[in-house]
Structure 1
Amino acid sequence: MKIQFVDVTKSFPVRDSSVPFTALSDISLEVREGEFLTLVGPSGCGKSTLLDLLTGLVKPTSGEILIDGVPVSGPGLDRGIVFQQYALFPWRTAVANVEFGLEAKGVPRRERRALALSYLELVGLHGFADRYPHELSGGMRQRVAIARSLAFDPDVLLMDEPFAALDAQTRESLQEELLRIWEKTGKTIVFITHGIDEAVYLGQRVAVMSASPGRIRTVFDVSFTSREGDLRAQPLFGEYRHEIWSLLREEAVPVG
């Protein structure tokens, strides 16, 4: 198993209170090698906290997280991260932004530039290498962020609502692009979203979380006989969507 959450709980101290706030409780979850797993849940259920634990930016209060059987003890180059905000360096061109992680790995300049250009091409930005972030659309900036995360060849790609700030048409276009990249690279992807449609469209499996404190309520296997045409128009898509919506509705917390 590529990733394992084993009885993970995360609590945070609360100012002026002796009782900590529990964001996640008893999370047990496994992600297979090369799998595209989406997580969906109500606002405030701890989705981003779960991802922070997986990045190693924070440590669990109890339980453990394993990647390839090794406990996560901190950030590492085996994990690439794409946030909702593009987090690009405004003084760097697109290609220089993609090179950033490669610089950290000590890749020689010529090889670094060739790799960065190839990943810009992979995300559909051939010809935009010398543009600065302010010269790119929101969707193009997010493509640069994805290219940057892929360029240093992480085993796992972690994505925290990366398309939430985009308009509907751009969001759907990037969802299709991400699936194409995933199929081509075979990366293990953990994708956080508050959108049920997005979770069903992208995920091989969809993990549904409860309201705070966040728990894994259930994990749906998503399997379509064909992805030809408009997947969202297939009856099976509607069935998956309704099942997940019903679970989230039981939480009595509004969801996107």
Structure 2
Amino acid sequence: MTEHPKLSLQHVTKQFPIRGEDTAFTAIEDITIDLAAGEFLVLVGPSGCGKSTLLDLLGGLTEPTSGAILLDGKPVTGPGLDRGIVFQQYALLPWRTARKNIEFGLEAKGLGKAERRDLAEHYLDLVGLRSFGDRYPHELSGGMKQRVAIARSLAFDPEVLLMDEPFAALDAQTRESLQDELLRIWETTGKTILFITHGIDEAIYLGQRVAVLTSRPGRIKNIVDVDIDRSAEDIRSSAGFRSLRHHIWTLLHHEVERARTQELTAPADDSEVVHV
């Protein structure tokens, strides 16, 4: 770990008011974690544990009820180009080609046309889509669309890349292929990445550390160091991988059961919660 973390969450809690009640709905509670520059950290937790709420906070779309989020020691107070976000839904502009989608953030930075195109070409090449720059989103497969979304987020050179279950909608083969691509891109660029998933195998395969969240309200239950031999031909079948999978599954199993109980005992109409 570096002396000063790249990204720091300090006792972050997020609550939402409930209409007609004096109480509040607590989505996440007292989350404290640091990411070193260049680290790949994965957050994994049961459904409804506040993973997406946390991403909204990191993206500056909402503010914590208490606690602080610091990027390079400065408070995150709103959206900014110092954070790139990749969602599960590709969020590409359908009227723009792959190249023009990548150039979108560069326009916001005020770069000239030639520089934008050169950077877009570089990142198309980085994600393996050099010959697809003139294709529109409807002409691309799901995996290709997500590659474009990753390239778009990397092109404006953010300090941190935030990824919210970006491969969840893809078939298993495409998902594993993009996991490998993401690791290659991470090693090439040295970006700091915070990746959110509900998949244990994906968390272990990608992360240097895996932070396990509790059921609602989401708290950090444990942080697991991923110490496996990545030179193995089939990492997912190695003894070290299986051991980590069992360890994290054990940590999560109780939380998943708690989350299921919460769902069964929740009010029939959740619309009274203003926002989650």
Q: Secondary structure, in 3 states, of the residue corresponding to 1:86? A: coil
Q: 2:96 matched to 1:101?
A: no
Asked if 1:40 is matched to 2:29, the reply is no
Residue number in structure 2 paired with 1:30:
34
Distance in 1, matches of 2:121 and 2:52, equals 31
Q: Which residue is 1:17 aligned to?
A: 21
Cα displacement (A) at 1:136: 0.3
The one-letter amino acid of 1:150's match is L
Q: How is 1:96-245 mapped onto 2 (pairs within 5 angstroms)? A: 96-245=100-249
* Cα deviation, residue 174, structure 1: 0.2
Q: Distance in 2 between matches of 1:114 and 1:237?
A: 40
Q: Helix, strand or coil: the match of 2:166?
A: coil
Q: What secondary structure sits across from 1:107 in the alignment?
A: coil
Report if the CA contact (8 A) 2:27-2:53 is conserved.
Answer: yes
Q: What do the CA deviations read for 1:162-193 (whole angstroms, capped 9, x no partner)?
A: 00000000000000000000000000000000
Q: CA deviation at 1:19?
A: 1.2
CA distance in 2, matches of 1:173, 1:117: 21
Residue 79 of structure 1 aligns to which amino acid in structure 2? R
Q: Which residue of 1 aligns with 2:250?
A: 246
Q: State the SS of the aligned residue for 1:127.
A: helix
TM-score normalized by the length of structure 2:
0.91
Structure 1 counterpart of 2:64: 60
Q: Does 1:5 align with 2:9?
A: yes
Structure 1 counterpart of 2:86, from 42, 67, 82? 82
* Aligned AA (2:33): L
In 1, Cα distance between equivalents of 2:71 and 2:224: 22
- Does residue 91 (structure 1) correspond to residue 91 (structure 2)? The answer is no
SS of 1:242 mapped into structure 2: helix
Q: Deviations over 1:136-180 (max 9, x none)?
A: 000000000000000000010000000000000000000000000
Paired with 2:13 and 2:188, the residues of 1 have a C-alpha distance of 35
Whether the 8 Å CA contact 2:229–2:240 is kept in 1: the answer is: no
1:225 Cα deviation from its structure 2 partner? 2.8
The alignment-based identity, stated in percent, is 69
Q: CA deviation at 1:116?
A: 0.3
Quote the Cα distance in structure 2 between the aligned partners of 1:198 and 1:112: 33
TM-score by length of structure 1 reads 0.98
Task: Give how far 1:4 is off.
Answer: 0.9
1:250 deviates by 1.4
Residue aligned with 1:217, SS: strand
* Cα distance in 1 between the residues matched to 2:202 and 2:55: 18
Q: Distance in 2 between matches of 1:22 and 1:110?
A: 48
Contact 2:87 2:165 (8 Å CA) reproduced: yes
SS of structure 1 residue aligned to 2:130: coil
What root-mean-square deviation, in Å, do the aligned CA atoms of Structure 1 and Structure 2 show? 0.8
Alignment gaps of 5+ in structure 1:
none
**1:78, distance to aligned residue in structure 2 (A):** 0.6
Q: How many residues align?
A: 254
2:149 and 2:130 map into 1 onto residues whose CA distance is 15
**CA deviation after TM superposition for structure 1 residue 194, in Å:** 0.5
1:165 is matched by which residue type in structure 2?
A
Q: For residues 6-56 of structure 1, what are the alpha-carbon distances to aligned partners after superposition, in whole Å with 9 as ceiling and x for unaligned? A: 111100111232211000111111111100000000000001111111111
**2:42 partner SS:** strand
